[in-house]
Amino acid sequence: MIQGFGSLTLWPGTPSFEAVGRLRRTLHGPWSRACRSLLFVALALAACGVEQPPPSSPATPAPPSQAAAASAVRSASAPDAFYPGFDPARDTLPTPVDGGRVVVHLLSFPTSLNYMIDNSSVTRRMWNELHEGLIRQDLETWQYVPALAKSWTVEDQLVLPGGDVKSGKHVLTGLVEDFGDRWRIREAGTTRDVAKSEGAVLVRGSAFRFELRQGVKWQDGADFDARDVLFSLRCFRNPHVDCDEKRYQFDKIVRAQSDGPHSVRFAFAKPYFLAENVFGSLTILPAHLYDLSDPRNPDHAADADDERQARYLAEHPANRMWVGLGPYRVAEWSDTAIVAKRWEGYHDRANGGHVDEIVWRMIKDDGAAMTALLEGQLDFYDRVSGEDYLGPRTQSPEFTSRFYKGHFYAPYISYTGWNMRREKLSDVRVRTALALCFDWPAFIQSYYKGLAERVTGEQFLRGPAYDPTLQPLPYDPDRARSLLADADWYDRDQDGVVDREGVALEIEFLYPSGNRTSELSGQAFQAALEKIGVKLTLVARDWPAFMARVDKRDFDAISMGWITPPVVDPEQAWASKWAGADSANNAGLSDARVDGLIERIQVELDPTRRRELFAELQRRVYELQPYMFGVNVPRKFAMSKRVRNLQCFGLDPGYSIRRWYVIEKP
Amino acid sequence: MIGYCLRRLAWMLPTLLLATLVAFALLHLAPGSPVDARGEGSESQGIGSAAAVERFRREHLLDQPIWRQYLNYLGPFDLSPRGHASFGGSGERPWGGVLCGDLGGELLQPGVRVGEQIAQRLSITLPLMAAALLLGYAIAIPLGVFSAVRRGTRGERVLSYAGFLLYAVPVFWAGLLLQVAFGRRGLDWLPVLWPAGASELRPVLAASILPVVCSGYAVAVYVARQTRASMLEVLGSDWIRTLRARGIPERTIVWRHALRNASAPLCVHLGQVIPALVAGSVLVETIFDIPGMGTYLYRGLTLREYDVVTGVVLVCAGFACLGLLLSDLLHAALDPRVRDERR
């Protein structure tokens, strides 16, 4: 769920009365009447010392369903919801005007605009405007909706005796009805009955048929068709293409074929709960430019092997000057800016955006970016520091006359990962003791000024896979001492540091240099651990050196963060098969129960049962404490008043430039 | 003189090679590698599979000893898996390296050539540097002359103190002060950042003023001190006293005779100022967000782009060498004794 400032008090972890009062006084946000009313009710209750219940149930709030989460998103992402003085419930949104340009801040530039080989979140942000997939997630409801595919059908597979789902031999694909003693399968207008006694195996919901839109053009004028889709899938499965972080999803697809230029079919070996995500994230490349075996390609080479194809793909000039299917086309790429201009050939003009030009301006330093905003060289900046957000810099009349500000929650978590391979951190009692020592409520108040919420799992805390009933560990240094003693860690030599078998409990806290949040949380953690006799040493390394140590698993504790989709497949993070040196399971968690839950989640197509499994997994992982889970921090933004209709959503990046439009005077 | 120039140019080659060797070695000795830098901003924390990492390292020779990597960088044989067949490559790309005029490619952006990028950025950095140099000298010489001629007066003392003060101000702080003073938060006279995506000259020129001032003031202060010292030495010499005794006007003595003799050491300083300007461009370009050589070097360092850093260092070293040669030639042009020595 996305929330404006007014709904802050609706969730557990309510800021103190003083903090809320200070925020109320200082913020010049988009206060609707409803939000104000809610805030005043919350203030009154907080003043009376009454803790605010979560919206569903005071005692044990139920996990938000997909529908509930979507409903919350709808209310918080109302048109122009953040614009000062504008109440979406009361006022009428001005008629959008086309034209003008907006300048949006980016912290870094991608190495390539080919999202297949560049896995950065900045590429994905730009892709929202530059390209399109087969299907896309609706920003408000998170449901998949048609994009390049005008429709799709989920089908079943009936594997006949002697059949093989991988080759498709003796496999019937279609909609299967169960008639007790037999199955009836409808496929391409034909119907066939198969007796269950024959020994066929039914694989429900494991095949997908997509009907592609006709008349869609690439930005260089070529036609888009099934060849592009199948070529893209081939690339993902080409082991030489540098897309390993995504390949595992596409390796689950066992068959792909076209039934004509505008129809494609895919089959999985077994049901997969994130199958739609797989198709949503299928990066479609223009085969006529990238496919060496395509006769339309000027560099056509029919005999090119996988390795040559992969190299061609990696070095293609279109990776920078992207030729896509979206409403904007890259016009310029310099060291500081990527400029995209409206492409008139976009197939869905109604959703093709209002501004004529989007400039993504790369400013690596946050201070310089804030300066650029104030100087009028940025229209949108979503990394406003807490100090600036609540401080005088964004309260001056000079600021408020030209900008407005607000914050929203997007899927992001911070965490401290423990290296469970290290002997001293292999004991869950030690890891739990360390987690009990950090005073999160105090840190959230002092550093985040109340604008952060604790998390107990890797899933988005507003998403359907997160269980908000799981309470985070309290701040309890006494229990921490006791747990350490249970694990045989106590101060034998009276030097202030607990020890065991002659070795003191000293932990190195590794973080990327320049990351102020990691540095300050590390310092707070250091002071907290000192009280229970654990020595924490802070070590900052620049990003390459930091990642070199993470890759080699050469760390005790690392400070990191995750940007995720609303629901993430937990396999890479927690499955023991990824506990080696080459996956995101950098903590090295290896637990049979966790593995079993992950496998069950992946094939469970029923959302209710899947939510229960996710909750069970979250509890188990939290019990094992591979991470000290941190917080979900809202993105604090400032926007020029010349741009209207900023809406914020629960999908990264949390906004859609296509909905913005420029007015000459605020 | 031509022979002298050729000799100096020939000596530049080992200097440049040494510069590339030092840069290459230092960068490889630093912790981290481009493999690790690939993950910055990545959604999956940048951890590719072991096979992908291995492939990346093999393709870019990162799995080879450093001397082999350096020889590949130098050329003329390409030692990569696609390189010269005599060295185990496929023969697809037999030649390459600095000796072939190729400064290599970016590791993280396949297909992007470092040489082209440097040339593109030089078109921004060079005019800015030249403008800063001109501005610096244009301010410094009159100030230095004034300080020498009016030595001991109140005006000269004020100028000296101001000069010391400015000399002590770090460039990055001066840049920030200029931004505050002349940007929207101050007088609102000038843009404080490079215009993104601007194709017209006017906004680019406007955005150049503050960076040029920021780079130029340090040159001005330094050169003014040197001018003052040289002028004082010359003005105290016997032949100046002789000129005065002959009744030649003071203005003519100062500007025509004394300054010409005092300017020879200033030319020597030109050889020091140019490399300093190049080095300072990293800070100035970062502060004012200019897509020049300085920001390119900074990016290369943070991402461990070996070819980028080595390429920029090579070009900067080339500028330093050329600056020294230029200062020597100017010195010789101004001082016949030096010219005679070098024949």
Flag whether A169 is in a domain: yes
Same domain, A531 and A421: yes
Flag whether A645 is in a domain: yes
Average pLDDT over residues A395-415: 88
What confidence tier does A89 reach under pLDDT thresholds 50, 70, 90?
A: confident
Which of A277, A297, A319 is the endpoint of a domain?
Answer: A319
Chain CA centroid to CA B171, Å: 14
Q: How many domains does chain A have?
A: 3
Please indicate whether, in this complex, the C-beta atoms of B31 and A541 are within 8 angstroms of each other: yes
Q: Is A247 exposed, middle or buried (0-12, 13-18, 19+ CB in 10 A)?
A: buried
Considering only CA atoms, give the Rg of chain B.
25
CA distances from A207 to A136, A273, A279, A600 (A): 18, 12, 12, 19
Say if CB A3 and CB A78 are below 8 A apart. Answer: no
Do you find a cis peptide bond into A161, omega within 30 degrees of 0? no
The rounded distance, in Å, linking the Cα atoms of A375 and A373 is 5
Residue A464, C-beta contacts closer than 8 angstroms, at least 6 positions apart: A63, A64, A65, A66, A69, A566, A567, A607, A611, A614
Partner B contacted by A317 (CB < 8 A): yes
Same domain, A596 and A651: no
Is a pLDDT exceeding 90 seen at residue A134?
A: yes
Partner B contacted by A319 (CB < 8 A): yes
What confidence tier does A333 reach under pLDDT thresholds 50, 70, 90?
A: confident
* pLDDT on residue A142: 85
Same domain, A328 and A295: no
Beta strands per DSSP E along A440-481 = 453-454
Q: Give A498's DSSP letter.
A: -
**Containing structural domain, residue A607:** 412-632
Flag whether A10 is in a domain: no
The rounded distance, in Å, linking the Cα atoms of A378 and B193 is 11
Same domain, A60 and A99: yes
Q: Which among A170, A113, A573 has a CA at the least distance from the CA of A319?
A: A113
Same domain, A435 and A535: yes
Total number of residues shown for chain A: 666
The rounded distance, in Å, linking the Cα atoms of A553 and A73 is 39
Flag whether A608 is in a domain: yes
Is a pLDDT exceeding 70 seen at residue A250?
A: yes
Structure tokens at A123: 């590429």
Partner B contacted by A315 (CB < 8 A): yes
Q: How many other β-carbons are positioned within 10 Å of the β-carbon of residue B168? A: 9
The enclosing domain of A119 has a CATH number of: 3.40.190.10
Q: Give B39's DSSP letter.
A: T
The rounded distance, in Å, linking the Cα atoms of B17 and A180 is 82
Collapsing DSSP to helix, strand or coil, B197 comes out as: coil
Same domain, A236 and A293: yes
The rounded distance, in Å, linking the Cα atoms of A519 and A27 is 27
Same domain, A247 and A362: no
| Number of alpha carbons in the 13 Å side-chain half-sphere of residue B26 | 10
* pLDDT on residue A309: 94
Same domain, A642 and A596: no
H or E element that contains A548: helix A543-551
- Residues of A within 8 A of B40 (CB-CB) are 108, 120, 543, 547
Partner B contacted by A401 (CB < 8 A): no
Same domain, A385 and A430: no
Flag whether A3 is in a domain: no
Concatenated DSSP letters for B144-170? HHHHHHTTTSHHHHHHHHHHHHHHHS-
Structure tokens at A631: 């917080």
Partner A contacted by B104 (CB < 8 A): no
Tens digits of residue pLDDT in A2-22: 333 222 222 222 233 233 333
* pLDDT on residue B198: 62
Partner A contacted by B39 (CB < 8 A): yes
Partner A contacted by B56 (CB < 8 A): yes
Residue B78, C-beta contacts closer than 8 angstroms, at least 6 positions apart: B72, B84, B87, B89, B93, B94, B95, B96, B97
Same domain, A487 and A618: yes
Q: What is the nearest CA distance from A90 to chain B, expressed in angstroms? A: 35
Flag whether A507 is in a domain: yes
Considering only CA atoms, give the Rg of chain A.
26
Same domain, A446 and A385: no
Q: What percent of chain A has pLDDT over 70?
A: 88
Question: For tokens 């390049």, what's the residue?
Answer: A148
**How many Cβ pairs within 8 Å bridge chains A and B?**
164
Residue A474, C-beta contacts closer than 8 angstroms, at least 6 positions apart: A436
Tens digits of residue pLDDT in A269-315: 999 988 999 999 899 999 999 999 999 999 999 889 998 999 899 88
Say if CB A462 and CB A1 are below 8 A apart. Answer: yes
Residue of chain A with shortest Cα separation from B49: A582
* pLDDT on residue A22: 34
Residue A660, C-beta contacts closer than 8 angstroms, at least 6 positions apart: A102, A353, A354, A355, A643, A644, A645, A646
Q: Best of B42, B178, B210 to disrupt the A interface by mutation (most A CBs within 10 Å)?
A: B42
- Least trusted range by pLDDT, from A43-57, A114-128, A445-459, A537-551: A43-57
Partner A contacted by B200 (CB < 8 A): no
* pLDDT on residue A37: 35
Axis-axis angle for helices B154-168, B201-235 (nearest 10):
130
Same domain, A308 and A417: no
Q: Which among B275, B132, B137 has a CA at the least distance from the CA of B210?
A: B132
Is a pLDDT exceeding 50 seen at residue A57?
A: no
The rounded distance, in Å, linking the Cα atoms of A599 and A14 is 36
Q: Which of residues 218-257 of B touch A (CB under 8 A)?
A: none
- Residues of B within 8 A of A314 (CB-CB) are 110-111
* pLDDT on residue B340: 66
Flag whether A387 is in a domain: yes
Q: Give B76's DSSP letter.
A: S
Flag whether A7 is in a domain: no
Could you tell me the pTM of the whole model? 0.77
Block mean pLDDT (10 aa), chain B, length 343? 79 88 88 70 47 78 88 87 83 85 86 89 90 91 90 86 86 89 86 76 89 90 88 90 90 88 77 78 87 88 88 89 83 72 60
Please give the single-letter amino acid code of residue B287: I
What ipTM was reported for this prediction? 0.70
Question: How high is the mean pLDDT of chain A?
Answer: 83
Q: What is the nearest CA distance from A371 to chain B, expressed in angstroms? A: 9
The enclosing domain of A532 has a CATH number of: 3.10.105.10
The rounded distance, in Å, linking the Cα atoms of B79 and B88 is 8
Say if CB B240 and CB B185 are below 8 A apart. Answer: no
* pLDDT on residue B9: 83
Tell me, letter by letter, the H, E, C secondary structure of A408-430. Answer: ECCCEEEEEEECCCCHHHCCHHH
Please indicate whether, in this complex, the C-beta atoms of A543 and B36 are within 8 angstroms of each other: yes
Please indicate whether, in this complex, the C-beta atoms of B40 and A245 are within 8 angstroms of each other: no
Is a pLDDT exceeding 90 seen at residue A487?
A: yes
Please indicate whether, in this complex, the C-beta atoms of A317 and B111 are within 8 angstroms of each other: yes
Beta strands per DSSP E along B90-212 = none
